[in-house]
Structure 1
């Protein structure tokens, strides 16, 4: 029975609601220091995943071509539009609670959180791992991390962070149940290249959360789709 994705989404929802209720009690210094820590954790896990690579040219090509595709089909713009609608919905439900964050800052953080919660290498690897052998330990670890991340960022963005649990659970359940069909068709080389590209996205996410560089993370997501076919063709 697949339970990891449910635990992960529950962690996001609980963290968001608790953070929303404790927003005024959280000291300002945590808003300044903890995002740096979450960004560091993301980048640290990214290094581990990137080091799994088998075919370096495939990693580079997947990131470049995937980003070009994402830019051409306006992936990040679509996510931004959806995030803006979510914000308006939250403002309608709870007037005044979103005014502490500007529209641009809200969109930058919200999109980064979508990638961190839904498309991180940890979540992808964890979902595939549970689907193949029933081991949910990776997703349990991610659930604890996402709980604290959701708690902190919901003190600034509001409980709209909880809405990210919807695409998160859909993606992880899809990966977990499809793993038994997908993984037998792949080689270890293809999987390692896939994890490495996931690590590249996690690195970009960490840099974005830390405010070092605003990468177009959502536009890079197609790289995760094309990396395995590229790896198969290359090898």
Structure 2
């Protein structure tokens, strides 16, 4: 099943959330320190990804153009409205709001090269190892996030499965119309662009700054457009 990796990822997030509810009585000081530790780790992970770029101008242009599109579409607000709608339907019984948990967890689990690369591998080669590894990581993170942000984390499993599953299904046909060199370059620059977004999430978790990361998301699509233009003009360097 081509979407097996995505489904397992979603299941691990749900299971981790349930475990997080069981261990919800962790001292507040410990929760804060744990969240800061996660924030530091996420920031460093993002920086490592960002440094993989072979043409940082592509990354900068993708982020700027993507942010303009995201601000125009108000993606951050729409994502929060969706979380608020879930909160109204389900109700929040913990200290963390469902909206905050949903938005934060969705951004952490959905953004990044691991999900995209894993989904592509699932679709192109039928190999789910990357997504299985990501599922274990996400399951652990969801435990910690739930102890601080509440039950809203569980709803992030839905967009994660749809996102990764959609890419996997699309990837089953990708070899027929996308040249290998173009795909390789896209993955490299997408990794770097996504890495900056991951770092932004880490800074948000550290409460250093408040970045509307969801409004940066169109940058991932812009990477594909820019890399395609470069490839079309024969400027792609292997």
TM-score, structure 1 normalization: 0.87
**1:228 pairs with 2:220:** no
Partner residue of 1:191?
187
Within a 5 Å distance, the mapping from 1:98-177 to structure 2 comes to 98=94, 100-101=95-96, 107-108=99-100, 110-177=102-169
Q: CA deviation at 1:120?
A: 2.5
Q: Structure 1: how far apart are the matches of 2:31 and 2:158?
A: 25
Instruction: Compare 6-15 and 149-158 and name the one that shifted more.
Output: 149-158
Q: Is the CA contact 1:125–1:195 (under 8 Å) kept in the aligned structure 2?
A: no
Deviations 1:193-220 (A, max 9, x none): 1121111111111111222221110000
Tell whether the 8 Å contact from 1:117 to 1:168 is kept in structure 2 after alignment.
yes
Q: 1:52: which partner in 2?
A: 52
Does the 8 Å contact 1:150/1:161 carry over to 2? yes
Offset at residue 109 of structure 1 (A): 5.1
TM-score, length basis structure 2: 0.86
Gaps of 5+ in 2: none
- How far the C-alpha of 1:77 sits from its partner, in A, is 0.6
Higher relative contact order (CA 8 A, sep 6+): 1
The 2-side partners of 1:134 and 1:38 are apart by 31
* Distance across 1 between alignment mates of 2:151 and 2:191: 31
How many angstroms apart in 1 are the aligned matches of 2:136 and 2:34?
15
Task: Specify the alignment match of 1:28 in structure 2.
Answer: 28
Does residue 17 (structure 1) correspond to residue 18 (structure 2)? The answer is yes
Moved more, 210-219 or 133-142: 133-142
Distance 2:99 2:208 in 1: 16
Q: Which residue of 2 aligns with 1:208?
A: 204
State the aligned residue count. Answer: 226
How far apart are the structure 2 equivalents of 1:32 and 1:47?
Answer: 23
Matches within 5 A, 1:67-82: 67-82=67-82
Q: Distance in 1 between matches of 2:207 and 2:52?
A: 27
Q: 1:88 Cα deviation (Å)?
A: 2.1
Q: 1:175 to 1:108 in 2, by over 3 A?
A: same
- Deviation, 1:108, is 4.9
Which consecutive residues of structure 1, in runs of 5 or more, have no partner in the other structure?
none
CA RMSD of aligned residues (A): 2.0
Q: Tell me, yes or no, if the aligned pair for 1:7 and 1:140 is still in contact at 8 Å.
A: yes
